[in-house]
């Protein structure tokens, strides 16, 4: 068993000093992400915490980690508790935000407890596992937080550190988090809060004072050199002949969608069509509408959701009837407008029916349960649906009910709590099902070098940009590696908050991991293009504002010549995250075993002392 180093306990002012010093990490972490978003702070954010942890007790280390996580998740996710909601239910939304942010901070507590144990072992080598342990707890958010919610990973703070961020095509977002912790760890061993006064002093151990800090600096330096080379390579491969895409930003208030406003929805539809015509007139080769902007929903083959047989007669030989040009049935009207007027492919977000062959869970009531897909639907230049992608990574509570199947095991109260949140958010319980397919779309290409070949592109919907695994699955084994990616999103829930900036940072890291440029088409912003090096190239603004504004952005994705999968997509994948998470169990077991051995040792010492006292012998 790994033995602990002897560390003198602290009392009074020295103890308070250690707590205040460790708490600085909470401030630095908060500054590292939007809304404040100070560059490079993420590299040193954990430094005070790692210096303070060895002077704390095991329970104190958990509390310290939790206190560090609280401002990080509460301040940087404040938007989560301020979402537009069904009036009168604001307290429900705030309560759920408070629960989620506090639960995420608890993960920081457990990470700090294991880090403290590793930092206090004899021989010092166990401390090299601290970055993996921290990553393991962060990776766990992809499975349970208490629902899958991988928001605000530490590595996201390096999105603005453009050179070093390029290493994400090797080890992904997980490697960026590992780097942040390793860099802070490397600096932390050079100093310590030593002695009974907890004085900040330089360490005297030669290896730890120089080698590990040097290794941390070399890692960052080599990463920057690698990034410089990769950016130059990518710029040399950009062809400048990508398709012209019109992103329609309708700026539809979420309140209108939640209430299904019968007066404002038709007005918004007319505005969407007007902006679409504007984009087509300017030569758009593809028009993109944001998530769920095809009001009323549809089926995958473009018919009426719930009553496809009523719509079928309006499409003889897949040609829309001209009467649909004046129809109030939005999906039919769109198909007719494309066929007769626009004559341009469109990618639109829509709620769609779940096909019979994909209703795979016997216990779910698909007919009366309101279960649907959140879909990106591609229409060709004749208004015919030719391909679709169904959102696979869903928003807990907002789109589906986590642990819904617990009702079968008699745990209905757990489900009821989340259903109450969903109803308070939008007036009803949403039951979006995760999609079962990955899709590579095709778009007719006009670039001469394509020689008649179509563009290949992939699509994600909204919150999926937070999941490295989603992009890995889309890009690891496609029929052809995509030329570009389109993310359609409706983040009108969050108004002008930092959520929009955090979303863009996620997208930037996804572009680097896969080396696929992205077009981001949103309802209220931020609509932009991002190149394969994770840099925002074109940003839609109106009078200097990039959110809560409407209009159309025409842009070309910065496509690369001969795109190909990265090492992260093909080989590393989520392996580093799994390695970190799998390390948590043996470390926890070692901690428990060590605790038991220590208690037994104390009992033996106490017993020996009792026997040695005068008058206790025979």
Instruction: Give the pLDDT band (50/70/90) at residue 197.
Output: confident
Q: In this structure, are residues 534 and 514 in contact, taking their beta carbons and an 8 Å threshold?
A: no
| Cβ neighbours around 93 below 10 Å, total | 21
How would residue 559 be classed by pLDDT, with cut points 50, 70 and 90? very high
Run of H or E residues at 387 = strand 385-390
How does pLDDT run across 88-142, given as a tens digit for each residue?
A: 778 888 888 898 999 999 999 999 999 999 999 877 789 999 999 999 999 999 9
How do 484-489 and 518-522 pair as beta strands? parallel
How many structural domains compose the chain? 3
Considering only CA atoms, give the Rg of the chain: 27
Q: What is the rounded average pLDDT of the residues 245-263? A: 83
Nearest by Cα to 476 from 575, 563, 565, 567: 565
Instruction: Determine, yes or no, domain membership for 82.
Output: yes
Residue 179, in any domain of the structure: yes
Residues 193, 253 within the same domain: no
Average pLDDT over residues 194-214: 79
Closest CA relative to residue 380, chosen from 246, 287, 293, 295: 287
The mean-pLDDT minimum among 43-52, 236-245, 361-370, 424-433 falls in 424-433
Across 161-187, average pLDDT: 96
Give the residue among 109, 111, 35, 40 at the shortest CA–CA distance from 74. 35
Burial class (CB in 10 A: 0-12, 13-18, 19+), 206: exposed
Q: Quick check: 203 pLDDT over 80?
A: no
> How many other CB atoms are there within 10 angstroms of residue 237's CB atom?
15
- 232 and 381 in a single domain? The answer is no
pLDDT band for position 287 (50/70/90)? Answer: very high
Same domain, 291 and 155: no
In a domain, residue 84? The reply is yes
pLDDT digits (tens, 9 = 90+) for 542-551: 999 999 999 9
Give the residue carrying structure tokens 């769609």.
352
Please give the Cα distance from 244 to 359 (Å, whole number): 37
Residue 184 lies in a domain: yes
Which residue is it, tokens 């096909």?
A: 355
Beta-sheet strands, E only, within 428-566: 441-443, 455-461, 484-489, 518-522, 528-530, 536-539, 551-555
Residue 409 has pLDDT above 50, yes or no: no
What is the C-alpha to C-alpha distance for residues 443 and 141, in angstroms, rounded to an integer? 36
pLDDT at 469: 95
Confidence of residue 86 (pLDDT cuts 50, 70, 90): low
Within this chain, do residues 296 and 443 fall inside the same structural domain, yes or no? Answer: yes
For residue 618, the model assigns a pLDDT of 43
Higher-scoring residue by pLDDT: 417, 277: 277
Q: Are 239 and 517 in contact (CB under 8 A)?
A: no
Q: How confident is the model at residue 196 (pLDDT cuts 50, 70, 90)?
A: confident
In a shared domain, residues 275 and 224: no
Is 0.85 topped by the overall pTM?
yes
- Give the per-residue pLDDT at 616: 52
With beta carbons less than 8 A apart as the criterion, state whether 185 and 130 touch.
Answer: yes
Where is pLDDT greater, at 257 or 375? 375
609 in a domain, yes or no?
no
Query: Do residues 444 and 519 both lie within one domain?
Result: yes
In DSSP terms, which residues pair with 351 in a beta bridge? 374
| Domain boundary pick from 377, 404, 431 | 431
CA 532 to chain centre: 18
Average pLDDT of the chain? 90
How large is the average pLDDT for residues 1-24? 85
Cα–Cα dist 612/587, whole Å: 37
Percent above pLDDT 90 for the chain: 67
pLDDT at 276: 97
**pLDDT for the residue 615:** 59
32 and 142, same domain (yes or no): yes
For 38, phi then psi, to 5°, come to: -85, 125
Residues 413 and 335 in one domain: no
pLDDT of residue 387: 96
CB atoms within 10 A of CB 582: 12
**Domain containing residue 503: CATH number:** 3.60.110.10
Q: Is the pLDDT of residue 254 over 90?
A: no
pLDDT at 102: 95
**Highest mean pLDDT: which range of 118-122, 140-144, 387-391, 605-609:** 387-391
Query: Where does the pLDDT of residue 426 fall: very low under 50, low under 70, confident under 90, or very high at 90 and above?
Result: low
Of 398 and 516, which is predicted with more confidence? 516
The model's confidence at residue 604, banded by pLDDT at 50, 70 and 90, is confident
| 464 lies in the same domain as 553 | yes
In this structure, are residues 249 and 522 in contact, taking their beta carbons and an 8 Å threshold? Answer: yes
2 within a domain of the structure (yes/no) = no
Q: How confident is the model at residue 408 (pLDDT cuts 50, 70, 90)?
A: very low
Tens-digit pLDDT profile for residues 294-329: 998 899 999 998 888 888 999 998 899 999 999 989
pLDDT of res. 427:
63
- Provide the H-helix boundaries in 77-161: 90-119, 130-139
Mean pLDDT within 513-526: 96
Q: How far apart are CA 61 and CA 313, in angstroms?
A: 68
- Which of 431, 458, 476 is the endpoint of a domain? 431
> Is the same domain home to 457 and 425?
no
In this structure, what DSSP letter does residue 285 have? S
Per residue in 449-507, pLDDT tens? 988 899 999 999 999 999 999 999 999 888 899 999 999 999 988 989 999 999 999 99
Q: What are the beta bridge partners of residue 499?
A: none
Q: What is the pLDDT of residue 410?
A: 45
Q: Specify the pLDDT at position 205.
A: 63
pLDDT at 598 over 80: no
Q: Is the separation of the CB atoms in 500 and 526 below 8 Å?
A: yes
Range of the structural domain that residue 515 is part of: 245-394+432-572
Position 415 scores a pLDDT of: 63
Give the pLDDT confidence score for residue 576 in this predicted structure. 96
Tokens 């580093």 -> residue: 576
612 φ/ψ angles, rounded to the nearest 5 degrees:
-85, -10
Cβ-contact 77, 97 below 8 angstroms: yes
Residues 542 and 499 in one domain: yes
pLDDT for position 158: 96
385 in the same domain as 403: no
Instruction: Name the packing angle between helices 499-514 and 168-188 (round to 10°).
Output: 120
29 in any annotated domain: yes
In a domain? residue 189: yes
- Phi and psi at residue 390, to the nearest 5°: -105, 130
């Amino acid at each position: 068993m790994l033995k602990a180093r002897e560390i003198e306990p602290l009392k009074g002012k020295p103890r308070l000093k250690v707590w205040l010093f460790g708490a600085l990490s909470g401030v630095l972490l908060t500054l590292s992400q939007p809304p404040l978003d100070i560059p490079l702070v993420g590299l040193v954010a954990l430094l005070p915490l790692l210096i303070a942890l060895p002077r704390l007790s095991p329970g104190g280390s958990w509390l310290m980690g939790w206190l560090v996580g609280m401002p990080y998740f509460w301040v940087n996710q404040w938007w989560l508790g301020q979402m537009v909601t069904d009036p009168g239910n604001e307290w429900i939304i705030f309560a759920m935000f408070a629960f989620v942010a506090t639960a995420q901070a608890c993960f920081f507590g457990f990470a700090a407890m294991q880090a403290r144990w590793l930092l206090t072992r004899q021989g010092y080598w166990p401390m090299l596992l601290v970055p993996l342990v921290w990553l393991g707890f962060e990776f766990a958010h992809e499975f349970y937080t208490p629902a899958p919610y991988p928001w605000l990973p530490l590595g996201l703070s390096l999105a603005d550190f453009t050179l070093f961020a390029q290493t994400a095509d090797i080890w992904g977002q997980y490697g960026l988090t590992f780097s942040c912790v390793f860099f802070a760890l490397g600096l932390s061993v050079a100093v310590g809060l030593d002695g009974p006064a907890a004085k900040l002093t330089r360490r005297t151990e030669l290896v730890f004072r120089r080698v590990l800090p040097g290794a941390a600096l070399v890692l960052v330096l080599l990463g920057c050199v690698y990034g410089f080379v990769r950016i130059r390579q990518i710029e040399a491969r950009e062809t400048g002949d990508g398709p012209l895409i019109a992103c329609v930003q309708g700026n539809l208030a979420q309140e209108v969608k939640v209430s299904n406003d019968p007066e404002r929805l038709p007005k918004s539809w007319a505005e969407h069509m007007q902006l679409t015509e504007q984009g087509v007139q300017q030569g758009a080769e593809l028009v993109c509408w944001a998530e769920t902007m095809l009001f009323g929903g549809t089926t995958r083959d473009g018919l009426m959701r719930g009553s496809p047989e009523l719509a079928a007669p309006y499409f003889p030989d897949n040609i829309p009837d001209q009467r649909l040009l004046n129809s109030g049935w939005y999906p039919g009207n769109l198909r007719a407008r494309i066929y007769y007027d626009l004559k341009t492919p469109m990618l639109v977000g829509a709620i769609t029916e779940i096909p019979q062959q994909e209703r795979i869970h016997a216990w779910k009531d698909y007919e009366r349960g309101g279960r649907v897909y959140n879909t990106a639907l591609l229409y060709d230049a004749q208004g015919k649906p030719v391909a679709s992608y169904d959102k696979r990574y869903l928003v807990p509570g907002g789109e589906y009910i986590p642990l819904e199947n617990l009702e079968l095991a008699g745990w209905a109260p757990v489900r009821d709590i989340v259903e109450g949140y969903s109803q308070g958010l939008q007036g009803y319980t949403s039951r979006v099902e995760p999609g079962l397919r990955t899709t590579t779309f095709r778009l007719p290409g006009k670039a001469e070098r394509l020689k008649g070949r179509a563009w290949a592109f992939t699509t994600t919907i909204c919150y999926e940009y937070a999941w490295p695994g989603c992009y890995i699955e889309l890009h690891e084994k496609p029929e052809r590696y995509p030329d570009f990616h389109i993310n359609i999103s409706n983040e009108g829930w969050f108004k002008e908050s930092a959520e929009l900036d955090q979303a863009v940072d996620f997208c930037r890291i996804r572009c680097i991991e896969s080396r696929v440029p992205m077009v981001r088409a949103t309802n209220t912003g931020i609509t932009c293009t991002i190149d394969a090096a994770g840099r925002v190239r074109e940003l839609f603004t109106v009078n200097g504002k990039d959110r809560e504004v409407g209009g159309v952005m025409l842009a070309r994705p910065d496509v690369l010549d001969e795109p190909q999968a990265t090492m992260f997509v093909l080989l590393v994948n989520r392996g580093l995250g799994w390695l970190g998470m799998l390390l948590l169990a043996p470390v926890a077991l070692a901690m428990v075993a060590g605790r038991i051995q220590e208690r037994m040792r104390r009992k033996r010492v106490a017993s020996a002392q009792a026997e040695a006292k005068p008058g206790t012998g025979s």
